[in-house]
Structure 1
Amino acid sequence: MIVSALLTSVGINTALCVVFFASYSILRKQPSNYEVYIPRLLAEGTSKRIPRFNLERIVPFSNWLARAWTLSEDELLSSSGLDALVFMRMITFSLKIFTFAGIIGIFVILPVNCWGNQLQDFDVIDFANNSLDVFTISNVNTGSSWLWVHFFAIYILTGFICLLLHHEYKNIASKRISYFYSSNPRPHQFTILVHSIPVSKTHSISDSVESFFREFYPSTYVSHVVIRRTNKIRNLLVEAKNLYKKIIQLRKQNRQKNKQGDYFRLFGQDDNLIDQYGKKLGEIEQNVRLHQSEASLATEEARAAFVFFKSRYAAATAFHMQQSGLTNLKQLEVLFPFLTSILTIKFVTQIITGYLPSLILQLSLKLVPPIMGFLTSMQGYISHSDIESSACNKVIWFTVWNVFLATVFSGSFISLLSVILDPKHIPERLAVAVPAQASFFITYVVTSGWTSVSSELFRIIPLLGSLITRPFSSPEDEFEVPSLPFHRDVPRVLFFGLLGITYFFLAPLILPFLLIYLCLAYIIYRNQFINVYAPKYETAGKLWPIVHNTMIFSLILMHMIAVGIFALKKLSPASSWMLPLPALTLLFNEYCRKRFLPIFTAYSTESLIKKDRQDQKDPRMAEFYKKLVTAYKDPALLPFQYSSNTDGLFDPLLS
């Protein structure tokens, strides 16, 4: 790829970012868009729709930038929880790494790369038509002593990253323990889910659970809730809710028509529809009550139950012990010849080589997180946090294998398989293939990074959804405040980190573009935590080990490529002295795994007992135990009635 193709990509994406920022600054101030751009503030009541027009609403001021910039860690922790804080720490951690790497890469390694055997071919006057290979390590002479600069740079960066990883792991582990001690009692801390409860001919599932835990946990057992089959009831509830919305909408339309003077339409089509919907809604309610009564029978019990305890320590002990029969199971030219003449146009070629490949890849990767989330949900995880954590790992490794490795080996599965089956020559194969794709991944950071994070601010999908549904809804309708999909955004940031570490010494030109992406991500996600995202759950920072492991993998990958590069460049001493580095990195990882990982897996016995003793002095615990019993009751079994309260401004649907 030539410089002009990269500049074309940079220009297109810079323009898109400016458009997104300007559009967001205007659209977020329109009352009709509040549910898209400030749903959290709207739900909390800290912001209200102001219907009157003023000039400020059409001027793209950026006052939101100052608010996002001044948000402190303590404010973020209190408003969005430790998971949000850990997510932002991942971004600031990456900023520290690549600021340090950028200084070395741009001011030390890049000049060395340019001072190679192709420098004589570098045309300063016709700068835009130079190849990007001039800025990579492939431009350095074979056997050159200047390659020792790359060698020492790799050692320095590895040491810096390991020191920073240790500091962050220790800091976040400390915050996790402090967060636990300062948090209020939560139902999930006192609850376990038991699976595969044995079926008895003489006792129901509920009786079996009751008798078992009363016998073996007499002093700590509180109660239990058996999970029941309520799929039919949930379907009926969804149908009832949709009918309720239709009735409300029809009655509002009637009111508007009556206000406009349409007094003679007394028995029109709308009234007939309202009557039909009302009768159907009443029938659904009767069916729901019938199914709810049937669900209470022993035949509708599933072989699982939520069991509640008086202390966290008792719940943790019961969770990690095998309970007899109560076992816990973890279940474009070749394809389109007619484009040949078009591809001869220079500008079109620059767009296709510098922008289109990474754009196509970015669009295809949009589907990966939801697919992985769906597949993970089928594995039997019992909480949203477990699903997203597992999906996060899947998306990361899918991206590494199917974006990084598949791209560097020209998308050939056979080539990739041949590398895996011949581990002795992996460094050599990587050393040849990875530098060859440097220009692609530079444009990938620009296209996928800059545009994706700017579109996160613009929220184009929720905006389009709001525009489509707006004619059929009213400001009084309920809306759901979204939560950040960690399994989508954490892998994206980590993959860019992998690219930055891998290409640090191969093509340091990637580092400035990566820093711009991280700066955009820093300010945009802080803004989203203020205005858009509310926490759906809290894992107290359990995502950090994923960040740590991915960084360790990135370092090992860089070391393997470096071994191969120095061997290809006929600098055998550097290749040999590079071998201890991955071993030292793995030893450091093993130390962190034993020192910090247990804190993120489960709280220690000491922490649980201290917290339980602290709660014993709290007079509010008696009330908490009363609410604990109903905390996990199936919503489908709760009483409901739409037909008698369709709208406070109108008569009941059914008399």
Structure 2
Amino acid sequence: MLVSALLTSVGINSGLCVLFFTLYSILKKQPSNYDVYIPRLLVDGTSKRRSHFNLERLIPSPGWVRRAWNLSEEELLSSSGLDAVVFMRIITFRLWAHFCAVYIITIFVCYLLYYEYKYVSSKRIAYFHSSKPQPHQFTILVRGIPVSVGSSISDSIQSFFTEYHPSTYLSHMVVRRTNKLRALINDAKKLYRRIIHLQSSPTQNKYRPGNCFGLFGHKVDIVDQYEKKLEDIQENVRLGQSEVSLAGEEIPAAFVSFTSRYGAAIAFHLRQSINPIQWVTEQAPEPNDVYWPFFSSSFMRRWICKLVVVVACILLTILFLIPVVFVQGLTNLSQLEVLFPFLKSVLTITFVSEVITGYLPSLILMLFLKMVPPIMELLSSIQGYISHSGIEKSACDKVLWFTIWNIFFATAFSGSVLYQVSIVLDPKNIPAKLAVAVPAQASFFIAYVVTSGWTSTASELFRLVPFLWSLIRKPCTRSTDDELEVPSIPYHRDIPRLLFFGLLGITYFFLAPLILPFLLLYFCFGYIVYRNQFINVYAPKYETAGKFWPIVHNSMIFSLVLMHAIAVGIFTLKKLSLATTLIFPLPVLTLLFNEYCRKRFLPIFTAYSAETLIKKDRDDQNDAAMAEFFDKLVTAYQDPALMPIQLSANPDSLNSPLLSST
């Protein structure tokens, strides 16, 4: 919306400039207009009115531009004085300071993007070469498996890959419907935790009356009752696992493993069938990264879910405009006094008005925004991704663009357009106001950086929610270090925040440089805090080998183009046609640079080259541990719902009694 509006502004104002320049070059030549266009020359006697007709008067000419451009500073000083020279220096400094700043920051950011893209790409390849053999490097996911009459899905996979990939095919693991089993296992884990809680709490009442009214009858041991219920659930799980193992519960999808990385890559990149919707292949995630509920969905259900997610994202974006409008109302003190006249006496207090208009809006917006990442993660989980990392990458994209639209664009326009009804009713003023919409919200975004940036980073270090939960849980349960669950960093929550602040820095550095120290302090603070959290708190749940970086690159390119659009709008509004013209090549060059990076680096993040894969396979040929690795690879992608229930974090618990006799 902003880009199209700015282009409209550029078109209208450029057309008006051309029209005015043309009319001026014609009208100034008419003797009757000398008192309008050259009164000084008439008074000084350096020019006289000429009455005879000349065809040249009717032809526009740019001669006045050349004369004005060639006027030296000394000539201007002698004719108009030092004040005129100072005035022209002011115009020059507005012009060239901002113009050069836009060029310098664009060149610098593009250089950094190229350097970082190249560095991350090289680290990704180096990480691959230094890593030990991983199951996902030798495995692909195959969907749309056709089954002939009288044979199973497993038989179809076996015959197909032994025929077309005989030298590299190793094994396969058919995916099965395990939704009900997962529900039973979750119930067992909840019941197990409840039993442990009762056993570890000496003050907890472990008995209750045997009747519903509690007035008579013997008391029942709750722990004993829960243990019997848990045994029943375990038995149901075993029966369910036996039923699921039958051929009727198979899904036309399977993890197919190969004896080499190159063999898996060939099977992934080549279309396996004449029918493009059969034998569809994609890269397999790490075994612990697989999102198993996805496989129980049919193709039609996944397609419908994608449509539902698109509609849900649009509705969420629209609904989020309500808090945005409310927040922008808080930033306008006069608007508050009109809407809430009973607060007029309170708003006259300086401290209260500063808190309400300065701190409260960004705080409210930050609290509402905290609900967005889990919602986007939920929407991405039903969209058809086969891995947790895929879900988180999709959620990261959704949160980023949601933040840019609802926090940047909606805030800017609601602050300058929404509350000025007269502007909406007078469309000819809209192009001029668009150029000042973003700069008008500079103070709000500075407060937003302080609230959402500084405070969020400090709360990340303090871990407020886990700390409060720990205080509540400790008196009730007795946990050991073996039962602790190490969290993983929510990339879909933190990466969009970092990129949004990067967008603010790029777009506001030449509009409101005051925001830069606040952003600099935020990034310095975040650098220390997150390094500390990676050392002490977070453990990786999966490894994408840097696949989040293209999101960062695309966001920075968008920020640069947005900055160019704002700069064009501002220079157009100020009638600086030269600066406007010279800015126009920048977005084109930036997009060309982005296209080059997409061709040069993005394929490295999509798939490894044959050169890389074959070299790694040859390095592993003489490794004696590969035989053991291939033995484990056969069962690496077995559905956890089909494995024995593990109710404790300690792996040895599988070989020990489920519950103690206490």
TM-score (norm 1): 0.71
Shift of 1:344: 2.4
**How many residues are aligned here?**
500
Assess, with a 3 A threshold, how the Cα gap between structure 1 residues 461 and 413 changes in structure 2: closer, same or farther.
farther
Q: Is 1:165 the equivalent of 2:113?
A: yes
Q: Is 1:276 the equivalent of 2:241?
A: no
Counterpart secondary structure, 1:512: helix
Asked whether the equivalents of residues 399 and 492 of structure 2 are also in contact (C-alpha less than 8 Å), the reply is yes
Q: How far apart, CA to CA, are the structure 1 residues paired with 2:157 and 2:204?
A: 57
Q: What percentage of aligned pairs have identical amino acids? A: 66
Larger CA deviation: 482-491 vs 313-322: 313-322
The 5 A counterparts of 1:353-368 are 353-368=357-372
Instruction: From 76, 94, 98, give the equivalent of 1:150.
Output: 98
Q: Is 1:624 the equivalent of 2:629?
A: yes
Report runs of 4+ in structure 1 exceeding 6 Å deviation: 255-258, 268-271, 411-415, 424-427, 641-651
Larger CA deviation: 227-236 vs 142-151: 142-151
The C-alpha deviation readout for 1:27-62, integer Å capped at 9, x for no partner, is: xxxxxxxxxxxxxxxxxxxxxxxxxxxxxxxxxxxx
Asked whether the equivalents of residues 380 and 395 of structure 2 are also in contact (C-alpha less than 8 Å), the reply is yes
Asked whether the equivalents of residues 198 and 204 of structure 2 are also in contact (C-alpha less than 8 Å), the reply is no
The aligned counterpart of 2:498 is 493
The aligned counterpart of 1:218 is 166
Q: Is 1:548 the equivalent of 2:553?
A: yes
The 5 A counterparts of 1:565-576 are 565-576=570-581
The aligned counterpart of 1:465 is 469
Asked whether the equivalents of residues 416 and 433 of structure 2 are also in contact (C-alpha less than 8 Å), the reply is no
Q: How far apart, CA to CA, are the structure 2 residues paired with 1:371 and 1:346?
A: 38
Asked whether the equivalents of residues 171 and 257 of structure 2 are also in contact (C-alpha less than 8 Å), the reply is yes
The aligned counterpart of 1:452 is 456
Shift of 1:648: 7.5
Q: Is 1:249 the equivalent of 2:249?
A: no
Pair member with larger Rg: 2
Assess, with a 3 A threshold, how the Cα gap between structure 1 residues 610 and 237 changes in structure 2: closer, same or farther.
same
Q: How far apart, CA to CA, are the structure 1 residues paired with 2:441 and 2:155?
A: 64
Asked whether the equivalents of residues 415 and 437 of structure 2 are also in contact (C-alpha less than 8 Å), the reply is no
The aligned counterpart of 1:320 is 269
Q: Which amino acid aligns with 2:260?
A: S
Shift of 1:201: 3.0
Assess, with a 3 A threshold, how the Cα gap between structure 1 residues 485 and 641 changes in structure 2: closer, same or farther.
closer
Assess, with a 3 A threshold, how the Cα gap between structure 1 residues 152 and 647 changes in structure 2: closer, same or farther.
same
The aligned counterpart of 1:78 is none
The aligned counterpart of 2:250 is 301
Instruction: From 366, 380, 387, give the equivalent of 2:384.
Output: 380
Shift of 1:236: 1.5
Q: How far apart, CA to CA, are the structure 2 residues paired with 1:269 and 1:426?
A: 80
Shift of 1:270: 8.6
Counterpart secondary structure, 1:203: coil
Shift of 1:247: 2.6
Assess, with a 3 A threshold, how the Cα gap between structure 1 residues 142 and 398 changes in structure 2: closer, same or farther.
farther
Q: How far apart, CA to CA, are the structure 1 residues paired with 2:493 and 2:605?
A: 21
The aligned counterpart of 2:293 is none
Q: Which amino acid aligns with 2:607?
A: A
Q: Is 1:558 the equivalent of 2:563?
A: yes
Counterpart secondary structure, 2:221: helix
The C-alpha deviation readout for 1:558-615, integer Å capped at 9, x for no partner, is: 1111111111122211111111111111121111111111111111111111111111
The C-alpha deviation readout for 1:517-576, integer Å capped at 9, x for no partner, is: 001100000000000011111111111111111111111111111111111122211111
Shift of 1:393: 1.4
The 5 A counterparts of 1:329-478 are 333=336, 338-410=342-414, 430-476=434-480, 478=483
Q: How far apart, CA to CA, are the structure 1 residues paired with 2:545 and 2:581?
A: 42
Shift of 1:327: 2.9
Larger CA deviation: 189-198 vs 401-410: 189-198
Q: Which amino acid aligns with 1:598?
A: P
Shift of 1:241: 2.0
Q: Which amino acid aligns with 1:158?
A: T
The aligned counterpart of 1:594 is 599
Q: Which amino acid aligns with 1:469?
A: R
Asked whether the equivalents of residues 169 and 596 of structure 1 are also in contact (C-alpha less than 8 Å), the reply is yes
Instruction: From 286, 292, 295, give the equivalent of 2:241.
Output: 292
Shift of 1:243: 2.2
Shift of 1:269: 8.7
Q: Which amino acid aligns with 1:296?
A: S
Q: How far apart, CA to CA, are the structure 1 residues paired with 2:594 and 2:262?
A: 30
Larger CA deviation: 330-339 vs 213-222: 330-339
The aligned counterpart of 2:186 is 238
Shift of 1:337: 5.1
Asked whether the equivalents of residues 566 and 575 of structure 1 are also in contact (C-alpha less than 8 Å), the reply is yes
- CA RMSD across the alignment: 3.2
Counterpart secondary structure, 1:146: helix
Shift of 1:335: 6.4
Which structure's relative contact order is higher, taking Cα pairs within 8 Å and 6+ residues apart?
1
Q: How far apart, CA to CA, are the structure 2 residues paired with 1:245 and 1:613?
A: 48
Assess, with a 3 A threshold, how the Cα gap between structure 1 residues 396 and 254 changes in structure 2: closer, same or farther.
closer
TM-score (norm 2): 0.70
Shift of 1:651: 8.1
Larger CA deviation: 158-167 vs 493-502: 158-167
Q: How far apart, CA to CA, are the structure 1 residues paired with 2:111 and 2:268?
A: 36
Counterpart secondary structure, 1:355: helix
Counterpart secondary structure, 2:551: helix
The aligned counterpart of 1:133 is none
The C-alpha deviation readout for 1:318-341, integer Å capped at 9, x for no partner, is: 122222222357856476554333
Shift of 1:144: 5.6
Q: Is 1:194 the equivalent of 2:142?
A: yes
The C-alpha deviation readout for 1:263-306, integer Å capped at 9, x for no partner, is: xxxxx999711221122122112111111110111111112111
Asked whether the equivalents of residues 190 and 312 of structure 1 are also in contact (C-alpha less than 8 Å), the reply is yes
Shift of 1:475: 2.8
Asked whether the equivalents of residues 185 and 645 of structure 2 are also in contact (C-alpha less than 8 Å), the reply is no
Shift of 1:142: 9.2
Assess, with a 3 A threshold, how the Cα gap between structure 1 residues 577 and 269 changes in structure 2: closer, same or farther.
farther
Q: Which amino acid aligns with 2:370?
A: K
Counterpart secondary structure, 1:480: coil
